[in-house]
A and B are shown apart, each in its own frame.
Chain A
Amino acid sequence: MTLRFKLALAALLLAPLPAAAHHGWAGQDNSKVTTLEGKIDAVRYRNPHAEIDLTQAGQKWTVTLAPIERMETRGITQASLKVGDTVRIAGHRNLDMAKYEVKANEITLGGKTTGLR
């Protein structure tokens, strides 16, 4: 292997370093499913990801849903999510326990459960 080839290879191998340093969304707890049920406080029906805030037993949670195109394809339109509605969420919680955040796998509205992943 010539020196210049080694130099080129080193440059190419530098690229994955940032990937090794990150865990993804500060890490999510994949060991168990977190379920939440509460009233919707706020709806942000938007890209890159729709979000809702809900309150369960006095605690406010932020739930990340899916991009709006995916939500619409699966039948959850902007009109489906209203402040004051009761919603049930199943997903994975942010490993940072100081943040009450969940990435939703499923959302149940009016008795109907829709997968978001």
Chain B
Amino acid sequence: MEALSAAILSAAAVLEGSSLGATMRGGRGVYPAVNVAHVAGLVLLVGGILVVDLRTVGLGRAIPLAPLSRLVTPLAVAGLLLLAGSGFLLFAADAGPLVRSAVFQAKLALIAAALVNALLFRRLFGDFADGRQPPMLARTMAVLSIGLWLVAGALGRLIAYT
């Protein structure tokens, strides 16, 4: 466990000290632009997922779930990729302090949980193409999805305040 911590701290130091890290810290307009891209990714991901999750829970039954999910899922995936890419760059600027931040660690843990929840949901329930009403477990996982993504997003914003 200690060897793993040491390895993580060491990798963070290498990334922070790299020319990528230096560019993120010192390039005029770079950090702000990447920050904006990160927010855009969050909007794409959570905006869509929230609507599909609320529909899964049972709001807006007039809208068929499968076509809604088919529209939203690629947008959410695009958002996730944008978040991951921009997130890695933002991380490079300040890797050492970030990897030690409890808020940052919690945020990553919640993202991992949200991804596991999403993949498991897909595995168990597919896309409800047959028009059936989602069962209780599906509705519970949808509620969990909402909570996990919103709290992860909030924690991202709160890193700056600790």
Listed in ascending order, the chain A residues whose CB lies under 8 Å from chain B are 2, 4-5, 7-8, 10-12, 14-19, 22-26, 45-48, 67-69, 72
Taking CB atoms, residues of chain A closer than 8 Å to B24 are: 47
Q: Which 9 A-B pairs have the closest CB atoms?
A: A15-B150, A47-B31, A4-B58, A11-B146, A46-B25, A14-B147, A11-B143, A11-B147, A24-B161
11 contacts between A and B (CB under 8 A): A10-B143, A11-B53, A14-B147, A14-B150, A15-B151, A15-B154, A17-B151, A19-B158, A47-B24, A48-B31, A48-B94
Q: Is the CB of B57 within 8 A of A4?
A: yes
Taking CB atoms, residues of chain B closer than 8 Å to A15 are: 147, 150-151, 153-154
Shortest distance between the CB of A24 and any CB in chain B (Å): 5
Taking CB atoms, residues of chain A closer than 8 Å to B39 are: none
Identify the interface centre among A15, A22, A26: most chain B CB within 10 Å of its CB.
Answer: A15
Given contacts A48-B31, A69-B29, contact A18 B143 (CB under 8 A): no
Given contacts A7-B139, A47-B93, contact A19 B154 (CB under 8 A): yes
Identify the interface centre among A8, A15, A68: most chain B CB within 10 Å of its CB.
Answer: A8
One of B54, B59, B147, B161 near A22 (C-beta < 8 A): B161
Taking CB atoms, residues of chain B closer than 8 Å to A23 are: 161
Q: B5: CB under 8 A from chain A?
A: no
- Bound-complex Cα distance A19 to B54 (A): 23
With both beta carbons as reference points, the residue of chain A lying nearest to B55 in the complex is identified as A8
Q: B32: CB under 8 A from chain A?
A: yes
Q: B77: CB under 8 A from chain A?
A: no
Q: Is the CB of A8 within 8 A of B147?
A: no
Q: Is the CB of A69 within 8 A of B151?
A: no
With both beta carbons as reference points, the residue of chain A lying nearest to B27 in the complex is identified as A47
Q: Is the CB of B28 within 8 A of A22?
A: no
- Given A11-B53, A11-B143, A18-B158, output 17 extra A-B contacts at Cβ < 8 Å: A2-B58, A4-B57, A4-B58, A4-B59, A7-B143, A8-B143, A15-B150, A15-B151, A15-B154, A18-B103, A18-B151, A18-B154, A18-B155, A22-B162, A23-B161, A46-B26, A69-B28
Q: Is the CB of A68 within 8 A of B57?
A: no
Shortest distance between the CB of A91 and any CB in chain B (Å): 17
- Bound-complex Cα distance A86 to B143 (A): 56
